[in-house]
Amino acid sequence: MNTHKPIETVLEALLNGDEPGDLNALAAAASDDPKLAAKVREELEFSEMLRQAVHNDAPIASNDLLLRVGQAPQTEAELFDLACDGNHSSYDLNRVARYLEDNPDRLADLRVRMMEDEWLRQAVSASKSEESFIEALETRMWAETTQDHFVEDFSVRLEEEIAAQDPEETGILDFPGAWSKAALELTAVAAAVAITAFMVVVFATGSNEEEGAVLAQMSKVSSDALWSADSPLTDGSSFRSGTYELETGLVSLRFPNGNEMTVQGPAIFELESDHSAVVHSGLAVARAEAKDMGFTLRSKGLSISEPGKMIGIDARSSLSTEALVFDGDAGVCLDDSGKCREIYQFEAVRADNNSDQLLDVPYNPRAFEKAWALVAGVENNLGDVSIEMPGTEIQPTKGISGRVQVYVEKESFEPEQDLEVDQISVGKFADAVVNPGQALQAGGKLTSYLLQLWPEGKVTDNGEEVEASLTFDQPVVGVIFSSERLASSDAAVGTSISHIGVEEISGRGLDSGNDWILLSEDRRTVNLRLKGGKAQLDQVRVLVASQ
């Protein structure tokens, strides 16, 4: 018993609430001596009973020790497994550390083993992929550095890679003969998305809450969309309550109450009702039309609900989930804890899996670009075109050189009075010149897009033209490209985001006489060939019929 005296002193101190000293030594000794282990167990159990009788908290150290006594791993392989396995305690790790101190020649082996574990995670897990890592790094760069060169680096690289894809795969509308395909680059959305029959929706009768009833119909899908074999799609376009796995691509679902949800694969999501879904992994954007119900997106750790506009959830990481508000206000709740708070337009929060707090993070919707292009209804783009995310400021004096930027100005609105738009003949590539204009009668719902080319840089340096083509998912009912009509329509159909510096631009429309515009015969595609002079901003407003 004398040999145990120091150990018993440690145990006594532990039970008395004094500084216990070397708990590791006690645990190690107990694991080697069953009698001592039994004694420790009994004393701790009794101590715990006494403690619970007067208190509610559990003594973590004691429980930890109790759990481990008598079942500690003995071999090196077991110890290494402990260090790499997620199921370990501080006691386990201290045993590993002690083993390595005694066997320093084994250190390198454990480090290699841990590194290989990390590589295997990167190799098999989408959330650990290079793309996910760079995207997360990009967000942190954006938030934590005062410069954004890296972000621009990344964008350029992404576009170069996409441009390298085979244009034959895209199935995009042919251009008039004068267009040089070699001059065109494919944007991210154009490479991925094609419109399917839109809004031809026949919903099953009966309550949506009934098991088996059709909850939603597929309204749009990208050409690269691929479902897992066991996703319960009955006829390829009807969605009932259940879990679906989208391996690649994008899909939009439309619910009979007007709500919409767009999912970007790889994603696993579960439809619960016409106003709620669980996103187990992947990205999703929800737009609520049902004013009374809104839409709720849930995922690991949090849920986000909103009364009427647009929200997004990013559940690609196994470590955390992010929620963003693109439009309107939303309520965000942490699962289990019941902690809730409101977030507002252009705000984002993150829930870490190992934390019980909602963290404010910078609003950076870049991850949602592909989904947003599908939601925004501007797809199949050719040329250097970017669909700007909600919240992006329109900056006529500081655009991206040589790129046609598309801003969704105002969605599903009814103009209060007739609008004056420019005359354009469908199917003819014509000069965008001064014209008498025509009236677009008020009454129907419209969505307004502002297309902008900021000409500084390559256009003015070498005189190159910028060519672009945009296909909308609804018919174009009016185009405004003259400076005066752009200015006069700003108030009625323009964005609520301020046009910083626009008043300093003399001719913001296609007034130079060098610009061409074509509206396709089906009124879905706008082709542009723009050649701005120095400081010659080019803007075109496209008005599209809305549901």
Partner 1 sequence: MFVEQVREHHAGLRGFVRSLGVDPLWVDDVAQEAFIVAYNRLSEFDHERDFGAWLRGIARNLVINERRKNARRKRILSDNLTDVLLSTTSVPEEEEEELGDRGLAKMNALRECIKGLPEKSLGMLKARYEEDHSAQDIAEKFEMNPPAVRKALERVRTSLRKCMDERLQLSGA
| Residue (115 or 500) nearer to partner 1, CB | 115
The span of 94-102, 163-171, 185-193, 203-211 binding partner 1 (CB under 8 A) equals 94-102
Contacting residue, 35, 111, 181, 398, with partner 1 by CB under 8 A? 111
- Residue 255 φ/ψ, nearest 5 degrees: -95, 155
| Residue (351 or 470) nearer to partner 1, CB | 351
Residue window 321-360: x/- pattern of binding to partner 1, with contact defined by CB under 8 A: --------------------------------xx------
Q: How many Å apart are CA 320 and CA 351, to the nearest integer? A: 5
Q: Is the dihedral of CA 196, 200, 205, 209 positive or negative?
A: positive
> What are the distances in angstroms from CA 250 to CA 114, 256, 289, 290, 544?
36, 20, 21, 23, 22
Q: Does 361 bind partner 1 (CB under 8 A)?
A: no
Least Å distance, CB 29 to partner 1, is 18
Least Å distance, CB 57 to partner 1, is 16
Task: Give the CA radius of gyration of the chain.
Answer: 30
Q: Does 114 bind partner 1 (CB under 8 A)?
A: yes
Q: Kindly identify the residues of this chain, within the stretch 20-79, that bind partner 1 according to CB under 8 A.
A: 77
Is residue 62 within 8 Å of 47, Cβ to Cβ? Answer: yes
Contacting residue, 12, 34, 60, 157, with partner 1 by CB under 8 A? 157
Is residue 359 within 8 Å of 384, Cβ to Cβ? Answer: no
Least Å distance, CB 97 to partner 1, is 4
Q: Which of 418, 429, 406, 433 has the alpha carbon at shortest distance from 509? A: 433
Tokens of 368: 């949602």
Contacting residue, 15, 204, 290, 319, with partner 1 by CB under 8 A? 319
Residue window 116-155: x/- pattern of binding to partner 1, with contact defined by CB under 8 A: xxxxxxxxxxx-x-x--xx-xx--xx--xx---xx--xx-
Least Å distance, CB 337 to partner 1, is 16
Cis peptide before 307 (omega within 30 of 0): no
Q: How many Å apart are CA 69 and CA 26, to the nearest integer? A: 9
| Residue (327 or 335) nearer to partner 1, CB | 335
Q: Which of 541, 529, 528 has the alpha carbon at shortest distance from 484? A: 541
| Residue (52 or 103) nearer to partner 1, CB | 103
Least Å distance, CB 367 to partner 1, is 15
Contacting residue, 16, 52, 63, 90, with partner 1 by CB under 8 A? 90
Q: Does 15 bind partner 1 (CB under 8 A)?
A: no
The span of 31-39, 87-95, 381-389, 431-439 binding partner 1 (CB under 8 A) equals 87-95
Tokens of 380: 């199949």
* Interface size with partner 1, residues (CB under 8 A): 55
Which H or E run includes 325? Answer: strand 320-327
Least Å distance, CB 111 to partner 1, is 4
Least Å distance, CB 260 to partner 1, is 30
> What are the distances in angstroms from CA 104 to CA 24, 92, 393?
19, 18, 58
Query: Which residues fall within 8 angstroms of residue 287, CB to CB, at 6 or more apart?
Result: 259, 260, 261, 262, 295, 309, 310, 375
The span of 109-117, 239-247, 494-502, 512-520 binding partner 1 (CB under 8 A) equals 109-117
Q: How many Å apart are CA 424 and CA 519, to the nearest integer? A: 7
| Residue (134 or 430) nearer to partner 1, CB | 134
The span of 98-106, 417-425, 434-442, 530-538 binding partner 1 (CB under 8 A) equals 98-106
| Residue (76 or 490) nearer to partner 1, CB | 76
Contacting residue, 23, 96, 477, 528, with partner 1 by CB under 8 A? 96
The span of 41-49, 106-114, 406-414, 431-439 binding partner 1 (CB under 8 A) equals 106-114
| Residue (97 or 226) nearer to partner 1, CB | 97
Least Å distance, CB 139 to partner 1, is 9
Q: Kindly identify the residues of this chain, within the stretch 259-318, that bind partner 1 according to CB under 8 A.
A: 318
Contacting residue, 12, 22, 45, 85, with partner 1 by CB under 8 A? 85
Least Å distance, CB 72 to partner 1, is 15
Q: Cβ-count burial of 168 within 10 angstroms (0-12 exposed, 13-18 middle, 19+ buried)? A: exposed
Q: Is the dihedral of CA 497, 500, 504, 508 positive or negative?
A: negative
| Residue (83 or 493) nearer to partner 1, CB | 83
Q: How many Å apart are CA 32 and CA 436, to the nearest integer? A: 97
Write the DSSP symbol of residue 21: -
Contacting residue, 4, 41, 51, 98, with partner 1 by CB under 8 A? 98
Tokens of 464: 């190159």
Q: Which of 93, 39, 85 has the alpha carbon at shortest distance from 64? A: 93
What DSSP letter does each residue of 88-138 carry, written as one string? Answer: --HHHHHHHHHHHHH-GGGHHHHHHHHHHHHHHHHHH-GGGSHHHHHHHHH
Q: Residue type at 92? A: D
Q: Which residues bind partner 1 (CB under 8 A)?
A: 77, 81, 83, 85-88, 90, 93-94, 96-98, 100-101, 104, 107-108, 110-126, 128, 130, 133-134, 136-137, 140-141, 144-145, 149-150, 153-154, 156-157, 318-319, 353-354
